[in-house]
Every structure is written in C-alpha cells, then in structure tokens.
Structure 1
Amino acid sequence: MLVNKVSDQIKKSKLISRDLSWLRFNYRVLDQARDTAKNFFDRIKFLAITSSNLDEFFMIRVGSLYNYIDYGKERLDYSGLRELPFRKKLLDYAHRFVNDQYLTFNSELKPLFEQHGFDVLKIEELSEAEQKKADTYFKNTVFPLLTPMVYDTYHGFPLLMNQLLTFGVVTRTTEDAKAQDRVTFVQIPQNLARFFEINRKDKIVFVPIEEIVRWKIKKLFRNVEIVSANLFRITRNGDFTLEESDDIDADFVQEIKAKLRTRKKGRVVRLEVERNPSHYLMKILKERWVIDNANVFTISTLMDLRALWQILNHRQFRDKRPKPHPSVLPISMPMDGVDLFEYLKDHDVLLHHPYNSMEPVVNLLERAAEDPSVLGIKQTIYRLADQSRVTAALLKAAENGKHVSVLFEVKARFDEERNLREGDRLEKAGCFVIYGISKYKTHTKMLMIIRKEGEKVTRYVHIGSGNYNEQTARMYTDISLLTTNELYAHDVSEFFNVITGHSRPDEYKILLTSPNSMRTQLIELIRWEARNAKKGLKSGIVIKINSLEDRETIEELYKASKAGVTIKLIVRGICCLRPGREDLSDNISVKSIVGEHLEHARIYYFHNNGDPKVYGGSADIMVRSFDRRIEALFLMVNEDIKQEAINILYYNLLDNQNSYIMREDGTYYKKKPTANEDIVDVHRLFFSKNCREPQEVELV
C-alpha cells in the first residue's frame, strides 16, 4: 500500500526528482557498456565510469540527503516525498542499478576477457609457479604495508578510510574457551596496484590484490583462530557546504583545508560487502555507522569496478582501443599556423572541442608569456590537467615580469587540493592569486591577455564552457570564443574587476552573469518567446545543457509551452522537467546525448521572431548555477559565429546514434533511425567540415 502511495505521489508531481533523474543518467552510461557494437575496451571503460559516477553520487547526493536526516531538517524532494520515504525510494533504485551493473560485468563482459588477451583470476586458478610469484609479491611489497586494527573493549573503533578495500576479520583466541570473538580491520593501502599482473604466453592474468591478502591473511593473525574474513568497502558523506561569512579577516584557504579533512570522518552512507558476511561483523558495522540493510550493497564479484582502469591503461591494450580522431581546423580559422595576435584583430574564432583542438588557446597563452608586448594576463581556473601547460605558461609570464592575476577555484569538487597546490606555486612566482570568493564558487571560464600594440592596448579574450584542461578537452564537447571585439573586452574586464576587487558594474553589454541576474534574464528571454507566440509570431527555444533543475525556470518553460512555444531541450544528465505532459508541457521535448564524448557545451537559442539570440558559456539551469556560483553566458554577436552555434544545435537534434528520448514519466528510450532516415552520429559528424559550415537551418 505504501509503495503504491509513493509511486502515485511521484507520478502526480510536475517535477522529476533530481537524484532519481541522475540514476537514470547513469543507466544511459551503463547502456554504453552493454552496446555490443562498441569496441570491447570502450565497453569496459564505460562500466568503470559508472562505478566512479556512483561513488560520487553516494558521497555528494546521498550524503546531502543524510545531512537533512541526521540533523532533523525537513526536505521535500521534487518528487513530493519527504526525507525518509525518499531515502527508501532512492536506495531501492540504487540497489537495482548495482544489480544491473554487475549483471553486465559478470554476464556480458567477463566471459569475453580471455578472447581479448587477459583474464581476472583468483589464487586457486594460478599455476604453482604463478602462486610463488604472488607469494613473493605479498612478502616483499604487500605484507609490510598492512596494519591490523583491532576493535574490542580495550581498543576504540578505528577510523576506516573512505572507499578503501577493507577486510573485517573475526578472530577467537583458541586457548581461552570463554573469550569473546573480536574484530580486526585490515585496510588495503590505496597506493598498491589493484591487480598483481602475471604474463602468460597467450594472455595477461590480473589477480585482485584483495585475493592475495585473503590468501595470506593468517600471516597477520598468528596463534588465533580466524572465524571469518570478509571484504567490504565504505562510502562516506563527502558533501559539505561552506558557511557564508562576513568576516573579511577569515582565512578562507585554511577553512577549505579544514573542510577537506572532515571528508575522512564523514558519516557512512554506503557499505559494500561480499556475499555471506559474518553476522557478528555486520551487526557491529551497522550499529557503529547507524545504517540498515538499505545502505548495504552485496557485491557478487570484483568489488569497486574502477579497478578496470588498470586493465584499460595497460600498455598491452593501448592499441586495442579506438584511436582519437585527429582534430580539424575551426570553420572560423580555416588556415593552420596563423599568427593569432594578428588574426584575432579582424576575426572571431569559435572553437568546438574536441573536434577543434584546444591548442590555439594554449599556444596563445604560451606566446603571451614570452611576448614582450604583453603587459598582463587574467584568468579564471576551475580544473587543470596534470602537468598543466596552462600553469607553466602563467609561471613563465610572471618570471618575465608580466602582471598575472589568477582566480583559482578551490571549491572545485575533488580538485581542491590540486588547485591549492598550483595556486601556491603561482603565488610564490609573483602572481596575484585569489582562492575563490567565499560565498560563491567561480565556475566561469575566462581568459584575457592585455597587449600593447603601438599607441593602443588590445585585449584578447577567451570565454567558453570548458575548463582550461588539455586532457579533458580531447574528450569533452565544449564551445569557446576567441575575440578582440571591444564588446567582449569591456564586459570581461568589468567581470574580472568584480571577482578580483570590489566593483559593481552598472550593466554588461553581452554577458549574462550569476549570481546577480542570470536567472531573471533567461526567464525574460523565455517570456519574450511566449509573448511572440501569443501574438502569432514565430517563436521557439532550443537549449543544450548538462542539467536542468531550477524550479523557477522550469515553471517559465511550462508557461511558454502552454503559450504555444516549441521548446527542444538537449539535457545530458539531470532533467527535473517533465516533457509532453498534457496541458503542461505538450510542446516540450527532451533528449539526452551520451556516447563517445562527454557532452559539456552549453548553448541557449531563442528564436526572437527570426532574429535569433544565441548564448554560450559555463552555466546550466540549476539553482547552484544561478544562486551559488559565479557564471557567465556570452551573447554571440558575430553572425557567422552565431550560425555555427545554431548548426551545432541542429545536428545534435538530428543525432540518432547517441540519443535517448525522455518520456513524460522520466524514463528514457534509445533513439533509432527509421528506414528512411540517414544515420547521424554527432560524435563523428563534427569531424567532417561539411556539417560545420555556416548554413541556414531551421531549429523550430
């Protein structure tokens, strides 16, 4: 009865739960691992990604839910459910996902390992000679790193680290018949390779490190009886919200460092454990962490599928994965090797990554670092590559006496420590470094190079949707603009003054910014389309984003749909809007594109009665984007650049190889071309010049 009531409540809601929508997104990623048409190693990659995704989901989203439950705060989900009913619904759905995830691994992928040149085996499946190698590895490398941590009346419960494989070993002293069982925890250090590798003539054998430890566990427990030894893994709450403070003397960097330390002690929100664990062990763990069966996930085989990355990155298999398609020249910069300082004086350049390389941006920054005419560089940084050329260029610029100011966002989730470290390097080199703005997360991506050219100063601007990360730029689809147009230069200069100083610009000319006005300006653009529709004028909205969650904006989209506006949404991940509901969203369609590249570009199109307004930038339609982040969307004023962006939307709408169509109930189905349709795969098509040429196309 309660189940039916919960289901009815979810169906009645005008909005879809953000968290349930996210789990459906991870199902679309899992679908890539199930796709037999894909390269086998790519299928393994997608399965590993689902595991990483789920870890973050539990740390952040489930962690956030427990912040309400643990502290007695009320929370009403978009589905209409309160905290505890929603917790049950969410964890039930997560259990179903994990079952399907491991069904894919065990039934669809693992049986194919051997024919692809490798296998994952247990100790008993090794030859005697191979077991000797494993034994030597244990003695020399593993054993010295293991530290048994006993828990009994004399020893407190040890701090078990987040997401590390752990054995819970129940022991009994054989001499004392009255002695009670005791539990000892043995964590496998994270700096050990997940697999011990053995080369055979016909294949590579990967032996899970936990199986070697299990095999030799008695070495840690001499003269005691081992009653049971069970492998488990915990996930802790990693969600923390920085408190807003008006104390201008507060050391914000130290606050971040303190928050990072709390992640190690966050409450446990998930316990993964192998089959048939000790009841005694489970009773202790559940009581200690205040969890129940809903938080416990039984794993039937390899625990933590992120381990598959070691196989994927093995030198033996590097050539077995599809090679990345070579990048092509941007439409707006058809010549290779141009002098960008000269070219940008007369041309704007739109880059569409990864189809266009990020090299023009990095090269421009590296040239600026050495160019004696460059006076200064200003940049926002959210995520960087390992051994970043961007950081190297900024360091070189500072060494060469240029003014360099950088805003490092130290609240970039899971990159906080790296950004603190890189910011410290730049500070020591003489750069002016700001570690974020305490109230807000700076998510916008901007670069400005100030160059003296004769009697005047030219400002070279780069603004886009992607991070300054050379590695992810080869995998993520993003857009960015290079320009010297004074409209952009003026607004970006003002924007830097706001985030690095104490300035409030009267009005931006081509930027929509948050947290001040982005939501209201986007809503006004939506309302303008609704007014046009009511007047019988042409109208339409096409938006491509990562996530759609802001309630106020969704309500305006519903109103525009009722007014007769055709609305086409391309939302990769979370979508809380219900498309196609009668008398609410009849004119709204939603699709998600998930495939070879991670869709990351944000493009907003408003028909405007035949004079389209098109914006690109860093912001999704989310509460956090509008209220808790510093974001920017830029208007495309160059007609050719605008048409390029429209073409990108057009082919994304046509895609029938990577697209999933959202139903009214929040579920998705894979789009397939009909007998009369051409195959359209945007992840391949955009490497072709023809589809990228500016041309007149109809979006709505």
Structure 2
Amino acid sequence: MNSVNENKNKQPARDKSVSNPAPKDIGKQKHSETVHTSNDELAKKGPEYFMNYELSWLKFNWRVLAQAEDPDMPLLERIKFIGIVCSNLDEFFQKRIGGLKRQIHAGVTELSVDGRTPEQQLKEIRKDVLKMIRAYRRCYFDKLIPLLEKEGVEIVLFNELPDKLRREAVDYFESQLYPIITPLAVDEAHPFPFISNKSRSLAVKLKSPGTNEIHFARIKIPTNRPRWIRLKGAKNRVVLVSVSDIITQMIERFFSGMEIVSANLFRVTRSAELGRHDEEADDLLEMIEDELRERRFAEIVRLEIDKDMPQDMKQYLMDNLNVKKKDLIEMSGPIGLADCTQLYDLDGLNHLRFDKWVPALHPVLRHEMEQDAPNIFDVIEKGDFMVHHPYHSFETSTQRFVEEAASDPDVLAIKQTMYRTSSDSPLMHALMRAAEEGKQVAVLVELKARFDEERNITWAQKLEKAGVHVSYGIAGLKIHSKLTIVVREQQGVLQRYVHIGTGNYHPHTAQLYEDLGIFTSDKNIASDVTDVFNLLTGYAPNQSYKKLLVAPRYMRNGIKEMIVREIKEAKAGRKARIIAKMNSLEDPRTIQLLYKASEAGVKIDMIVRGVCRLIPGKKGMSENIRVHSIIGRFLEHSRCYYFYSGGQEAFWIGSADWMHRNLDARVEILTPIERAGLKDYLRFMLSLYLTDNRQRWVMRPDGEYLRAERKKGEETRSTHQILMNHVKSNQTPIPKSSN
C-alpha cells in the first residue's frame, strides 16, 4: 500500500497528549563538526547512479508544460502555464547556464557527479531546450490561441485591424508610446547601446535615401506598458494588439527621412552568476549593491531573435553582443512569452479560470474567535497548531501573529528571519511599528536571496530607519530558515512564542505556494530558536540545540542517523519506512545513503517537485525507492520528512531540501512535529500525495516521468482539490486513506 501508515486514521484534534518524540540523540551537539561534501567520499559516481542536475530541471519544466497541454485545465490557466514555462527558462539560463559558462571560463575540467563536463552539459541542454521551445510555441500558437479566439478573444496584427480599430491603436501609439521611446542610433558618435536583461528590442536596419549607406538603430520596447492593449472600439468581443507590433508598424515615425529596410525583435538574457564570495567582503551590503550593478552588465548567455531578421543584422548583433552561434535561438513570431501571463488577468473571463480560491480560517483560530479568545498567544498556549498554506489563510494566522505581537503592550521583543517578502509587506510594516513603539525588534535580512536582493536592501534600510536591529547573517552562509519568535511578559514571567515555517514570510506567494507552518510555545523549541538568533546576530559557533536540527552544523548528521536507523530496522526484519517531501533532491551523499537503505529493504517514497538526481527502481540499487512529483494549481513548496523510527513515527518540517547547499552552505531549520493530532494531519497529507491520480508524476529508472494512471472505475484524486474541499468543509476529522 502507498499510505504512510495504513492503520492510522485519527482526528487532528488539539489533544494534550504528545506521542513518542523523535529519538533523543538525533541532532544533538555530539555532532559538533561542520560536515563538508566531498566527491571523494562517494563510493559510486557516474550516470548509472546519478541524474544530471540541469537535465533533471528541464524534465521538471516539461512537467510544467504538460499543464498547458492538458485539455482538462481551464484555458487561461493553460496560458498562464506557458508563461511559467518561459519564466522558468529565463531563470534557468540566468542561473544554471550562467554557472556552467563561468565554470568553462574558469577552466573547470572536473566531471559532475553524473560524469559530465560543463561543455557536455551545455550541449545536451541546448538540444533539450530547443525541443522544449518548439513544443511550448506549438502549444501556444496552434492550440491555445485558436481556443482563445473561439471564446471571443482575438490577438490581431496591426495591419489586419479594421480602420476604426487601427485609428485607436495609432492614437495609443501617439499618446502612450511615442513620447517615451528613445531610438538609439549606432555610428561614430553613438556606440552600440547597452541591452538590458530580458528586455525586448527592435533591431532596425536603415538606409540613407539615394545611397547604399546602411545604419543600425535600436528601439527598446517599453517595459512600463502592457504587452497587449485591449481596443475599446471592438464590440461584443475582446480584440488585443501587441504593443511591439504597433511600434514596428509605426517605425517610420522615429526615422523621418530614412528608408526602413527591416525591423525585427530580439531579446537577451544575462548571467546572474558573478562568482563573488561574501566571505571576502568588508561590507556585505555594499558588496551586494555592487553585484546588482555588475549583473546589469553580465555576460549574455542567450540571444533570442526573430527568424526573419536579415543575416547581416543577425551577425551584427552577435558581434556587438559577443554572442556565439550556440547561444543564439531563432524563432518565428513573438519573443518572450513569459509575458503571456498578462492574458490570464483579462477582465470578464472568469469561466476560463479556476474558481477563485479564498483561503480558510484555521479551525483552531475560528473556534477561539467564537470563544472570544483575547489574542493569538492564548491560542498557542493551549497547544501547538499547524497551518497549511494556501489552504489556510496566511493573513489570519502568520501575518496576524506578527501584527498582534507588534500591537500587544505585553510583547517585549520580536525576532524574525526574512529571506523573501513582498514590496508592500504588512509584516515588515508591523515590525517597524513595533520598533517605533519601543519594542526590541531584530530582523535577519538575507541580502543574497537571488533576484530579491534589491528589494531586501530596501527593506533593510527602511527597517533600520524605524529602529529595528537589522543584521545580515553569517559570511559564507545564506540564511534560509523561516523563523519568528515573540517574547511576551505574562504576570511577571517571560513567555516565548514561535512560528517555524517551510515558506517565506511573503503574503502574495502564500496564496500560490503550498507551505506548512507550526506555532508553538514549547520551551525547548523556543530556547533553540533563541539560540539560532544568537548564532545569526552574534558570535556563537559552538551553539547546540535541544530539539531542532540546524544546518550546517547538525542537520546532515541528524538526517543520516535517521536513515541509518531505518536501515538497521530493515536488516533486523522489522518495518522500515521513509517518506520525504521536498523541492529538490540533489545531495550525492544523501542519495548514496538512500540507495543503501533501499538495498537493506527500507521502503522509500520521495515526493520531489523539481530536480531529482536519484535514480529510482533500479535493480540491485534502488528497487525499493519510488519518486513522485506533484504539479498543479499550487506550487508544492513544503518540506516534510517521515521516518517510521521503530514505530515512533518521526515527522519533521522545515526550510531545507536534501541538497548540498541546504545541508552545508545555509542556515536551515527542521523542527520535529510531536503532537499526535498534527502527526495525523501530516500522515493524511502524505497519503494524498502518494495516491494522487490527477496531478502526480512517477519517475522511471531511465529518468523519464509518466503521469500516474487512474485505474478503471477509480475516482479522481487531485491533491489540491481534496485539500481545498477538506478545509472548506470545516471538518476536524482526517478523512480515511483511499487505500
């Protein structure tokens, strides 16, 4: 059977009892040495033991593309997934391709753990990426756009507009586009212009009348205008026209007296990998600001161009942008389809989207509100409770926790880690209010959160101005843990309340990302969290912990010990079971240990949304391991780990994937879940993932993924839909496992 424990079917009640805790020796301070990953410690290397990281990531993006190709998905949801596929590819080129190119420039010759050189990886990646581009463009142009037209939404070329609508488009150009566009010529007095990352531009080939003199000019498509404008003159239908098409057709307005030979779109992607080391920085904030400036001018790793661009213009761009042919991607039609997510927001088309999901108030909080409980701290005092976003409301739980702490006169101190948040985060505003009212507020801001550096710098500066104690963590380590602790004085005694999550304190992504968070006043956990903040803001290299697994010092060995315990149980002929849910499984040493567990007879299910370097189901190596991937309406983001542990059933949640960077190069937290009712919920949740027949993919030994098949007569089981139905039903009992 696939369930976590087929005989368990308890109520997620807020009982006072706590089932057997995780083994006492897990993660204790006896493992005080920092663990470093070395390929020399691997007994097995090569493609027969490990999937390639980059190719595994591309397989994940293929699964995302499958959502766009799914005819059972609402049409605008399918179009949104095309945008997600393209946005994912943009980031892939910036980070992964940029990183591989940096290795080549640095002369790296060492093989990856799967036995490939950087050059070999780039060659294989390009082959798969070109195939993916053809597939998503075929899906978008040949399937989705015609379906959109049947729904009364047309994307029309400027030259095909009727006169009335064309005049409206011209008026828009004259009033909204022409005044803000600056054409940039290239000649002796004007050097080739800087081309910003992911911007779309027109390469314009010009000719002086009566001569053979050729000129080049560039027009940047404004990023502060929509990709498409909706023409108001259209009756009973939605008519859209592309802004870039309007500009192209009106190009003569910019070059009066010149002959337009051609005007074609192109787009560049720049590397985000600069190879800086913050250990060498005297001022981390200054270093990150410098890196952001340098990133604007980083190496171009991809040039996308209109296939119809004249050959001499293609070569001209390649020469001036220092781009090789292997980094060139040619395509017919619109470029940069990440923007097609804008189509998702079209008014009046709700029937083409999923019904709007409104997160539910957690039943514990609802019950306490009905009982007129004075504050969230009294609720936590009665017992740990766990929220599951986006099914449970972030606003009425996690956000409320911080906002109440900021306004409560009995709260003396608030401490929080901040990896990513929104530009208008109510949590940050609450922390600033708390500091202004005299509370001790400390925030650990991770400046190195990729692509959020600028936002985090802005928040750090605002927080400091409000009197918040802001720190940037530890040199050489990213602070990826999701922690908040509140210190409150109650009848002369200080009480600590803690939130530990799997996701960021980001109110917007909490509507889309699946994450878990636990609220507790457990004294040992609160003490550990206090010690973590001492580590982050002060000097405490030998800090030890009572319950938490903290990376990079203790987590790797703690996980290793739990896997080894399952191996010993299996070898003794007793039940042994591991279920691990994460975003990515990459760490070679952990994978090797999982192979040993499989060989010993441990039954293992890995629920891995994205990259998975482990090869499952391989005879003599991983026959007892299955790998699942859930792709659907929400982004699976939580990390949850289950070990049968001799019947004690240890559950852990936290911020860490099983990746080298999480275990060895970041400050990460895993916390045990000990209350019986909360274990019941996690058991129920994991059982759903393992029996899903709508959103689940299963990895084969050759690395390919197949959709989980629905058996004849079997009801559809969609994890996201079942969990939405569950919280909306206001039921406290956990439904029985389907098997």
Which category describes the TM-score, using the shorter chain as reference length? over 0.9
Deviation at 1:317, TM superposition (A): 3.2
Residue of structure 2 equivalent to 1:540: 577
**In structure 2, do the counterparts of structure 1 residues 74 and 155 end up closer, same or farther at CA, with 3 Å as the change threshold?**
farther
CA distance in 2, matches of 1:457, 1:336: 23
Does the aligned pair in 2 maintain the 1:77–1:86 contact within 8 Å?
no
Deviation at 1:587, TM superposition (A): 0.7
Deviation at 1:155, TM superposition (A): 3.6
CA distance in 1, matches of 2:205, 2:543: 68
SS in 2 for 1:202: coil
Q: Deviations 1:607-631 (Å, cap 9, x if unpaired)?
A: 1111111110000011111122111
CA distance in 2, matches of 1:334, 1:123: 54
Residue of structure 1 equivalent to 2:96: 61
CA distance in 1, matches of 2:49, 2:433: 54
CA distance in 1, matches of 2:168, 2:736: 66
The answer to whether residue 565 in structure 2 is matched with residue 528 in structure 1 is yes
SS in 1 for 2:657: coil
**In structure 2, do the counterparts of structure 1 residues 125 and 457 end up closer, same or farther at CA, with 3 Å as the change threshold?**
same
Deviation at 1:74, TM superposition (A): 2.5
User: Residue 209 of structure 1 aligns to which amino acid in structure 2?
Assistant: V
Match of 2:521 among 484, 496, 499: 484
Does the aligned pair in 2 maintain the 1:643–1:696 contact within 8 Å?
no
- % identical equivalent positions: 35
SS in 2 for 1:614: strand
Which has the higher mean CA deviation after the structures are superposed, 616-625 or 215-224?
A: 215-224
Match of 1:391 among 404, 428, 438: 428
Deviation at 1:318, TM superposition (A): 5.1
Residue of structure 2 equivalent to 1:588: 625
Deviation at 1:534, TM superposition (A): 1.0
Deviation at 1:72, TM superposition (A): 2.4
Deviation at 1:313, TM superposition (A): 1.8
Matches within 5 A, 1:478-627: 478-627=515-664
**In structure 2, do the counterparts of structure 1 residues 509 and 677 end up closer, same or farther at CA, with 3 Å as the change threshold?**
farther
SS in 1 for 2:443: strand
Residue of structure 1 equivalent to 2:209: 174
SS in 2 for 1:206: strand
**In structure 2, do the counterparts of structure 1 residues 332 and 564 end up closer, same or farther at CA, with 3 Å as the change threshold?**
farther
Does the aligned pair in 2 maintain the 1:643–1:694 contact within 8 Å?
yes
Does the aligned pair in 2 maintain the 1:441–1:628 contact within 8 Å?
yes
Residue of structure 1 equivalent to 2:124: 89
The answer to whether residue 282 in structure 2 is matched with residue 242 in structure 1 is no
The answer to whether residue 337 in structure 2 is matched with residue 302 in structure 1 is no
Deviation at 1:298, TM superposition (A): 2.1
Residue of structure 2 equivalent to 1:223: 257
Deviation at 1:334, TM superposition (A): 6.2
CA distance in 2, matches of 1:453, 1:255: 43
**In structure 2, do the counterparts of structure 1 residues 331 and 676 end up closer, same or farther at CA, with 3 Å as the change threshold?**
farther
Residue of structure 2 equivalent to 1:35: 70
Does the aligned pair in 2 maintain the 1:643–1:695 contact within 8 Å?
no
Matches within 5 A, 1:98-497: 98-177=133-212, 179=213, 181-199=214-232, 200-245=234-279, 250-317=282-349, 320-330=352-362, 335=367, 337=369, 338=373, 339-358=375-394, 359-497=396-534
Residue of structure 1 equivalent to 2:16: none
Deviation at 1:67, TM superposition (A): 0.7
Does the aligned pair in 1 maintain the 2:304–2:330 contact within 8 Å?
yes
SS in 2 for 1:679: coil
User: Residue 210 of structure 1 aligns to which amino acid in structure 2?
Assistant: S
Deviation at 1:638, TM superposition (A): 1.9
Deviation at 1:410, TM superposition (A): 1.5
CA distance in 1, matches of 2:639, 2:459: 27
Deviation at 1:284, TM superposition (A): 2.0
CA distance in 1, matches of 2:720, 2:173: 45
Deviation at 1:27, TM superposition (A): 0.9
Deviation at 1:323, TM superposition (A): 2.8
Q: Deviations 1:97-146 (Å, cap 9, x if unpaired)?
A: 01001010011101012222321111112111221222222222212222
Does the aligned pair in 2 maintain the 1:640–1:694 contact within 8 Å?
no
Deviation at 1:635, TM superposition (A): 1.1
User: Residue 384 of structure 2 aligns to which amino acid in structure 1?
Assistant: D
SS in 2 for 1:585: coil
Aligned length: 686
Deviation at 1:438, TM superposition (A): 3.1
Match of 1:80 among 111, 115, 120: 115
**In structure 2, do the counterparts of structure 1 residues 698 and 100 end up closer, same or farther at CA, with 3 Å as the change threshold?**
closer
**Which consecutive residues of structure 1, in runs of 5 or more, have no partner in the other structure?**
1-9
Q: Deviations 1:307-358 (Å, cap 9, x if unpaired)?
A: 2232222333357522333434546656152432112112100111111111
The alignment yields a C-alpha RMSD, in angstroms, of 2.1
SS in 2 for 1:316: coil
Deviation at 1:152, TM superposition (A): 3.9
Which has the higher mean CA deviation after the structures are superposed, 296-305 or 660-669?
A: 296-305
Does the aligned pair in 1 maintain the 2:609–2:631 contact within 8 Å?
yes
Does the aligned pair in 2 maintain the 1:196–1:209 contact within 8 Å?
yes
Provide the TM-score with structure 1 as the length reference: 0.94
Does the aligned pair in 1 maintain the 2:376–2:404 contact within 8 Å?
no
SS in 2 for 1:686: helix
Does the aligned pair in 1 maintain the 2:183–2:219 contact within 8 Å?
yes
Does the aligned pair in 1 maintain the 2:446–2:478 contact within 8 Å?
yes
Deviation at 1:289, TM superposition (A): 3.6
Does the aligned pair in 2 maintain the 1:533–1:565 contact within 8 Å?
yes
SS in 1 for 2:486: strand
SS in 1 for 2:633: coil
**In structure 2, do the counterparts of structure 1 residues 228 and 661 end up closer, same or farther at CA, with 3 Å as the change threshold?**
same
Provide the TM-score with structure 2 as the length reference: 0.89
Q: Deviations 1:33-59 (Å, cap 9, x if unpaired)?
A: 111111111111111111111111111
Residue of structure 2 equivalent to 1:693: 733
Q: Deviations 1:565-606 (Å, cap 9, x if unpaired)?
A: 111000000101100111111110001000011101100111
SS in 1 for 2:241: strand
